[in-house]
Amino acid sequence: MPPQTMSAKTDATIGVNGTAKSTSNQAPPPMALPANLKSDLLNKLSLKSFKLKTKQQELLLRVSILFLVYVLAFITRLFSVLRYESMIHEFDPYFNYRTTLFLTEKGFYEFWNWFDYESWYPLGRIVGGTLYPGLMVTAALIYWGLRFLRFAVHIREVCVLTAPFFASNTTLVAYFFGKEIWDSSAGLVAAALIAICPGYISRSVAGSYDNEGVAIFALLLTFYLFVKAVNTGSLTWSLASAFGYFYMVSAWGGYVFIINLIPLYVLVLLITGRYSVRLYIAYNCMYVLGMLLAMQIRFVGFQHVQSGEHMAAMGVFFLMQVFYFLDWVKYLLSDKRLFETFLRITVTTTVGLAAVALGVGTASGYISPWTGRFYSLLDPTYAKDHIPIIASVSEHQPTAWSSFMFDFHILLFLFPAGLYFCFKRLTDATIFIVMYGLTSMYFAGVMVRLILVATPAVCLISAIAVSATVKNLAQLLRTKSKVTQGGSSKAASGSKASSKALLDQSQPFQRNGAIALLLGVFYLLSKYATHCTWVTSEAYSSPSIVLAARGAHGNKVIFDDYREAYFWLQQNTPTDAKVMSWWDYGYQITAMANRTVIVDNNTWNNTHIATVGRAMSSYEDEAYEIMRELDVGYVLVVFGGVTGYSSDDINKFLWMVRIGGGVFPVIKEPDYLVNGEYRVDKGAAPKMLNCLMYKLCYYRFGELMTEYGKPPGFDRARGVEIGNKDIKLEHLEEAFTTSNWIVRIYKVKPPNNRW
Amino acid sequence: MAPKSSDSQQSLLQSEPTNGSIDPAFHLIRILPYSFLRAPRLRLKLPSLSLPSPMTVFSLVLLTYFMVVSGIVYDVIVEPPGIGSTQDPVTGTVRPIVFMSGRVNGQYIIEGLSSGFMFVLGGVGIILLDLALDKNRAKSVKVSYASAGVSSIVLAYVMSMLFIRIKIPAYLR
């Protein structure tokens, strides 16, 4: 449409500017000079606004929406920084922070070859070969970049804000991915949805310096580049997806999801008859180059050719070669029946050879079977019976409906609708997003932690549903209009409805209905935004190392006991002292207290953890022997009886028993239970009342009044009065108890002198 | 790989010597038992596998989605009771509790299934809305689809909000 009529039309509707323009050409008004200047300014603005063509207006709208979404994704993750301070949260991020600190201080080669003797006391840990370096290298590069520009930032600030920064980048990738799958308006909705989705925020809030913050960005980037490669068949995009895969392998152990989903997708395309040369180029380049690059990470090593979890990718790779070969033979042969016979022979031989190769590989042990972590995803009951360490982690529990609702809200309704739209318009790209959505939703159902991996797929598919529905409704509003309006496809068409001439009797009803439905869509999306902000603020912004509670008068009470205890350890113990605690606190102790620990969150050695578990659940004499063997100087326990904190060591005690009992049959779980029930009061089992953990947690607790109207020694976390109040320690002495009794540190006394 | 009926198989047997099959297994079988045995007349037909239509697959997918979102994996592993119960301390009667309270990641079987049903109902409502806007249907059908769709969405949203408010009393406060 020519700009001239456009400008005339816009001029008529912008009433203020029009009248301002008309008055400026006549005699100046009795007002002073500033009014004239003001009208000139308005002139300039209005002239500017209608010199833009429709395409430019659309581009401006899209860029501004993306910019706002980018900023929104960053600032919604800053609740805990504003409420408490800029600190690292939880447990795992402390290890990541410590390694990043080491990297920035000592350089890349020291980091790559680092042997850490401060954890897993007598054994040590080969850090360079047992971590995923992507996160640390990324943060270090950002830090060095900012330092180069002479911004004097501390590495801790960079670490705290890495995750929100990459979350913002993920929204951009989601926009491009949505554009690739459906169209650009679906991309915009996807970017907006993923910016505030609680499923993603839970692991990428500021301070949560963990692998997933960067890995989800790498995951979505790899998928986007691969789908783009399949759509275009270009070598550049395939190689780019291989590099994206390399970044993902360096960032997170969840790369196994990519290396299994992409072959599964290729297989589905082959079955549905969508084989093409584009697919051949994309998959081959990505697999070969990606595999070679992945072998550069020491932790991954040769797993791509040796581990059972990666065999699917290799199998599909060879299958693709067979397909290409058959295609070529079909082109050469002119006889159809001859080709069919040839096809039958080839397929039978190939399948036979593959089965023989797989069998020989597995039987000889060259191809290792699926590891417990990933096997428990396929068979969820496996971990409960066989591997208690995996089953004990709270994030690995299966998902209930309320966790889904909490993390997704409206997207749970939009997901099946989006799947319907994808099935209506099946292309290579929509088949991919459907497969990604379905597999990730299944895994999210098996393990709560994996809701994170499902979030991008759910957001993209829901965006398709929203975009398609809004387009349909907006179509209704525009059906009989003579003058086509430019502008975006969003719900702005309601305002234009009033200026239309009505041609049909059913038109007003349809139009009003469409307006009402659009308002309904807007209402639902605004409720989604409210829900997401509430969940982020209340549930996902707690640093876990600082606890908060409501006092008696509704004021906020902060418990900073953990950091108090670690600081005490750092200041008051010899530098080579070894600290024994349950593995949850290992990373924090090494990072903040800078002392050697016996076991930490890496949990790579089950026997060592079982030794500690055995020590915690034995009587004091046996435990003392184990502690002398391990050279332990201090023991640290976490106790929530005074504050009512429920994630303390007494509540985790049964896991210590189970893990210890898994390796040392001396420890039997029924010894600690009464009629199958776990109790700490007078009716508790005698072994429970005298084990080391009980004594260390409840030492001197029997004299304490914790609540009005209750006897002394009332455990507020369990809600009972403890059974054994008169506790005497023979081989340990109390070194430090924090102000709210949450962390208690005991010193191991040297053995008695011989008489 | 088209299925072969018995007639074409026989004709193939007769015409093969003239064409020269490249299948080694076929030649082996031709020599070993069937040089002195007569090949049987079979009326076997290999079942022809055809891909199901997209909408069939979609309905299967919807069923799977319903099961996953209802927390079926949680039900299988943790084995919660179908419905919880509490005993009234004064009268001693046993009252049922539908929603497991106290934590976000816990459920009874029935509460999971009913919530999952509400989610699927909401999804189906949006699908009905899209079907209602299809041009090639009668007007009355379109209107009924549209009204069914809108009422499904409204019902599903209201019920889901109600469920989550019962389960987590501190929701949105």
In this prediction, residue A41 carries a pLDDT of 66
Q: Is the pLDDT of residue B16 over 50?
A: no
Report which of residues A500 and A700 the model is more confident about.
A700
Q: In angstroms, rounded to a whole number, what is the distance separating the alpha carbons of residues B167 and A717? A: 22
Of A343, A380, A416, the CB nearest to B120: A416
Using a CB-CB cut-off of 8 Å, the residues of chain B touching A406 are 104, 164
| pLDDT, average across residues A240-264 | 95
- Reported confidence tier of residue A48, pLDDT bands at 50, 70, 90: low
Using a CB-CB cut-off of 8 Å, the residues of chain A touching B105 are 397, 399-400, 402-403, 448
Cβ density class A621-634: b for 16+ within 10 Å, e for less: eebbebbeebebbb
Q: Among residues A619, A603, A610, which one has the least CA distance to residue A693?
A: A619
- What pLDDT digit, counting tens, does each position of A688-716 carry? 989 999 999 999 998 888 888 888 888 98
A421/B contact by beta carbon, under 8 A: yes
Report which of residues A740 and A508 the model is more confident about.
A740
A492/B contact by beta carbon, under 8 A: no
Burial of A741 (0-12, 13-18, 19+ CB in 10 A): buried
Report which of residues A229 and A380 the model is more confident about.
A229
- Reported confidence tier of residue A79, pLDDT bands at 50, 70, 90: very high
Q: Among residues B101, B116, B118, which one has the least CA distance to residue B168?
A: B101
With H, G, I as helix, E, B as strand and everything else as coil, classify residue A710.
coil
Q: Is the pLDDT of residue A555 over 90?
A: no
In this prediction, residue A13 carries a pLDDT of 38
* Cross-strand partners of A368: A307
Element (H, E) at A265: helix A255-271
- Reported confidence tier of residue A45, pLDDT bands at 50, 70, 90: low
- Test B119 with A412 for CB contact under 8 angstroms: yes
Q: Is the pLDDT of residue A158 over 80?
A: yes
Please state whether beta strands A634-638 and A596-597 pair in parallel, antiparallel, or not at all (unpaired). Answer: unpaired
Least confident of A271-285, A455-469, A535-549: A535-549
- Reported confidence tier of residue B115, pLDDT bands at 50, 70, 90: very high
Q: Supply the mean pLDDT for chain A.
A: 86
Residue A445: closest CA among chain B residues belongs to which residue?
Answer: B68
B73/A contact by beta carbon, under 8 A: yes
- What DSSP string runs through A486-503? -S-SSTTTTGGGGGPPP-
**Of all residues in chain A, what percent carry a pLDDT higher than 70?**
89
Q: What are the structure tokens assigned to A505, written together? A: 């009797």
| pLDDT, average across residues B20-49 | 81
Query: In the block, which residue shows the tokens 């909490």?
Result: A406
A406/B contact by beta carbon, under 8 A: yes
B84/A contact by beta carbon, under 8 A: no
- What pLDDT digit, counting tens, does each position of A267-292 carry? 999 988 899 999 999 999 999 999 99
Q: What are the structure tokens assigned to A466, written together? A: 């929203």
Q: What are the structure tokens assigned to A10, written together? A: 């816009």
* Cross-strand partners of B86: B95
| One-letter amino acid of A137 | V
Using a CB-CB cut-off of 8 Å, the residues of chain A touching B62 are 416, 419
Give me the helices (H) in A618-680, please. Answer: 620-629, 649-663
What is the ipTM metric for this complex?
0.84
In this prediction, residue A43 carries a pLDDT of 62
| pLDDT, average across residues B144-171 | 93
- What pLDDT digit, counting tens, does each position of A349-371 carry? 888 998 998 888 888 888 888 87
Distance from CA of B87 to the nearest CA of A (A): 19
- Reported confidence tier of residue A556, pLDDT bands at 50, 70, 90: confident
Of A337, A398, A520, the CB nearest to B74: A398
| pLDDT, average across residues A51-65 | 90
| pLDDT, average across residues A334-359 | 84
Of A271, A413, A424, the CB nearest to B126: A413
| pLDDT, average across residues A492-517 | 60
| pLDDT, average across residues A122-137 | 92
**Of all residues in chain A, what percent carry a pLDDT higher than 90?**
59
- Give the torsion through C-alpha atoms of A664, A665, A666, A668, to 10 deg: 120
In this prediction, residue A47 carries a pLDDT of 54
Q: Is the pLDDT of residue B4 over 80?
A: no
Is 0.95 topped by the overall pTM? no
- What pLDDT digit, counting tens, does each position of A654-680 carry? 999 999 998 999 999 898 988 888 888
Q: Which of residues 535-574 of A touch B (CB under 8 A)?
A: 538-539
| pLDDT, average across residues A534-553 | 87
Q: Is the pLDDT of residue A4 over 50?
A: no
* Integer angstrom CA distances of residue A486 from A472, A478, A483: 17, 12, 10
In this prediction, residue A710 carries a pLDDT of 87
In this prediction, residue A348 carries a pLDDT of 84
